[in-house]
């Protein structure tokens, strides 16, 4: 006679490698709540933003200057367009020379923009001993 109330169950635990893979996949689908950012993380982020924006803008200036300068050299040396070559070379050189002053100006502007929050956070972190 056959027992219809019988339940068969086979369990096999995943290996450690399979478990890591499953957890890795699972983490991609779990809704993440933004973790509250601490004061030290926030001050690092703000400082990175201040320096990063200034560096990026000055790099763009410098790279455009180098490209314009190189185009001027190519005009003069390769195509014998000396007047245009010197003109483009001079414009490129000026752009390259302006890269550092632009960096300083953007840096100061970004410092001014974020200084209040950075000083407030640093006072909090230093226990009110800000200098």
For residue 67, is pLDDT > 80?
Answer: yes
Q: Helices (DSSP H) in 30-81: which residue ranges?
A: 39-78
Portion of the chain with pLDDT greater than 70, in percent: 88
CA dist., res. 3 & res. 66, Å (int): 86
65 closest CA partner among 96, 86, 90, 88: 96
Q: What is the mean pLDDT of the chain?
A: 87
Q: Are 56 and 110 in contact (CB under 8 A)?
A: no
pLDDT at 40: 84
User: What six digits make up the tokens of 64?
Assistant: 């455009």
According to DSSP, residue 112 is labeled: H
**Which residue in 102, 74, 98 sits closest to 86, CA to CA?**
74
Q: Which residue has the higher pLDDT, 101 or 12?
A: 101
The predicted pLDDT at position 115 comes to 92
On the question of pLDDT at 79 being above 90, the answer is yes
- Report residue 111 as tokens: 């410092």
What would the pLDDT profile of 20-61 be if each residue is shown by its tens digit?
Answer: 887 787 777 776 655 557 888 889 999 999 999 999 999 999
């Amino acid at each position: 006679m056959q027992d219809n109330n019988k339940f068969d169950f086979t369990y096999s635990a995943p290996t450690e490698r399979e478990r890591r893979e499953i957890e890795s996949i699972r983490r991609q689908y779990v809704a993440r709540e933004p973790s509250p950012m601490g004061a030290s993380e926030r001050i690092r982020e703000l400082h990175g933003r201040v320096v990063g924006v200034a560096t990026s803008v000055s790099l763009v200036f410098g790279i455009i200057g180098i490209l314009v300068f190189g185009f001027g050299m190519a005009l003069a040396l390769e195509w014998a367009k000396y007047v245009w070559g010197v003109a483009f070379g001079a414009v490129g050189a000026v752009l390259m020379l302006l890269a550092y002053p632009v960096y300083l100006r953007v840096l100061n502007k970004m410092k001014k923009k974020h200084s209040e929050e950075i000083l407030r956070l640093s006072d909090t972190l230093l226990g009110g001993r800000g200098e």
